[in-house]
Chain A
């Protein structure tokens, strides 16, 4: 009797210890994020004593080292949004349709081979994709379209699409594949064709998963640095066509940070650019979270 009580007590203590261990582990990653954010803001905010927030965000000229300097990141923000948007326009149809094919139309053997290969595409280091874009795609685009330079917005978006298609395809495929089979069978039993079943039953049922996939793919694209540094050309201007060179925010930070004088206003301006980028990715993640909650399927009956 006493023994069971005692073992119960020690079990409780053990439970408590494990619980606090996991709490500390969880806390560590939250704290790491907190420290990085703190550092980002401490290093970035001082620039606003030199330039107003409005002039920083909407300024048209980025000349951080001239006398006097101009710290306007509007062209960089537009570039980031344009590259991400255009790459989404390419990668969303490709990724989602490929996912539908793999989940619904492909023979099991094909699926078994193709899915790992698509996922392998995600494992390609971004510098390899960037190098490919710079050395192979850029000269090809130049010759094919007779444009001044192949290092431009379009090339950047294309390379980023390469990187986000695997994410979008793989997560969407999981979402579509995990729709309860009763739903599909019921739809087919009611006389719906395969296409009608896909369009009216499977897609709506897996919408939250697909949206999450898209947004994860896009947030990979907006924060991607190496690819845009290598293939977008790096001109700090608002693009007029999709074949103009642009300089997205991460490229600007990566190119200039190494040699910006420590704690000078250029250095602070680059960190402030980082804050803007951080706010963008934060919004993306909040949106993803919101959508996945909103369209969440809680059971087969909710459809």
Chain B
């Protein structure tokens, strides 16, 4: 008798919690580690303004996020690339119509020491430098000095863009130095007159000198116009046109006065 009472109580409690969860709403976001800092900053702001919504974020990589979206284990998939054909087919097979929202742009700028007299570089030269075939600044019109090549750790999103846009399927040569963050690259380049590195546009400061690529300066304008070559859009995918909390969140992210503010805080280029 007593046990039965407890079970009834428990059931009531559980249904109560479930009901509350349905009212309160919860969002699950998974995917690209590049988009993760944006998602984190925006979610914090969103949860502050909507205390009844719980957002849980994880970063398993773009592919992981899209897989989770197709499996129905996440509401929003962050991705640093567009969906691949196979992924779209897989989603269609499960009657899920993924909807992309471009939420920001990633713009990667090659940087050198302020005393270096170079100011422009071509994509071809960048590729040769990172492949290790060009080893001295004078080979590409600079002063005589061995080029100290600094790269990012291979699992970072920044490296991913570099590999995709600049290296074009070639490998960064093993002699390249590795730094684990954009901040560390700024630090290393600013202390070495022969160094070259690459960072997200948000990290540029007066200690380092950004290089134009193919004669185009990396900036918010050239990124948005598509003229600057080392940039890419970042996406959030939803399963079908978003509704309810998901729609509210996406609207928040895209709002120039709200979510987009945090995009530039995270070191990326906002949409407007």
Contacts and interface: CB of A to CB of B under 8 A. Distances in A.
Interface of A: 61-66, 75, 134-135, 138-139, 142, 148-151, 229-230, 233-237, 244-245, 247, 254-256, 258-262, 264, 266
Interface in B156-188: 156-157, 159-160, 163, 171, 174-180, 184, 187-188
A151 B188 contact: yes
Contact of B64 (A149, A245, A254, A261): A261
A42 B174 CA distance: 30
Interface stretch (B189-197, B212-220, B229-237, B246-254): B189-197
Contacts of A264: 61
B192 A63 contact: no
A245 B177 contact: yes
Interface in B48-106: 59-61, 63-64
A247 B191 CA distance: 20
B153 A255 contact: yes
B192 A142 contact: yes
A64 B178 contact: no
B16 interface: no
B25 interface: no
B191 A139 contact: yes
Given A229-B180, A255-B178, A266-B155, A149 B195 contact: yes
Nearest to B145: A148
B187 A149 contact: no
Contacts of A266: 155
B148 interface: yes
B155 A237 contact: no
Contact of B174 (A65, A138, A235): A235
B176 A235 contact: yes
Given A63-B171, A235-B176, A245-B175, A139 B192 contact: yes
A262 to B, nearest CB: 6
B154 A63 contact: yes
B226 interface: no
B33 interface: yes
B178 A234 contact: yes
Consensus secondary structure, chain A interface: loop
Contacts of A229: 180
A237 B59 CA distance: 30
A247 B178 contact: yes
B155 A259 contact: yes
B146 interface: yes
A230 B179 CA distance: 8
A134 B187 contact: yes
A233 B191 contact: no
B155 A235 contact: no
Contacts of A247: 178
B192 A149 contact: yes
Contacts of B195: 149
Nearest to A138: B191
A50 B148 CA distance: 33
Nearest to A230: B184
Interface in B201-232: none
Most chain A beta-carbon neighbours within 10 Å: one of B153, B157, B194, B195: B153
Contact of B154 (A65, A139, A149): A65
Nearest to B172: A63
A149 B148 contact: yes
Given A75-B174, A142-B191, A255-B178, 14 more contacts: A63-B171, A65-B159, A65-B163, A66-B171, A134-B187, A134-B188, A139-B192, A148-B146, A148-B148, A151-B177, A234-B179, A235-B175, A244-B175, A247-B178
Given A61-B174, A135-B187, A234-B179, A262 B60 contact: yes
Contacts of B184: 230
A236 B163 CA distance: 17
Nearest to A237: B174
Contacts of A260: 155
A268 to B, nearest CB: 13
B177 A233 contact: yes
10 contacts: A65-B160, A142-B191, A150-B191, A233-B178, A234-B178, A235-B177, A237-B174, A245-B177, A255-B180, A261-B63
Contacts of B61: 259, 261, 264
A236 B153 CA distance: 11
Contacts of B159: 65
B33 to A, nearest CB: 5
A190 to B, nearest CB: 58
A191 B192 CA distance: 59
A247 B157 CA distance: 20
Contacts of A234: 153, 177-180
Residue of B163, B171, B180 most packed against chain A (CB within 10 A): B180
Nearest to B187: A134
Interface string B23-51: 00000000001000000000000000000
Contacts of B148: 148-149
Nearest to B59: A259
Nearest to A238: B174
Contacts of B175: 235, 237, 244-245
A135 B188 CA distance: 8
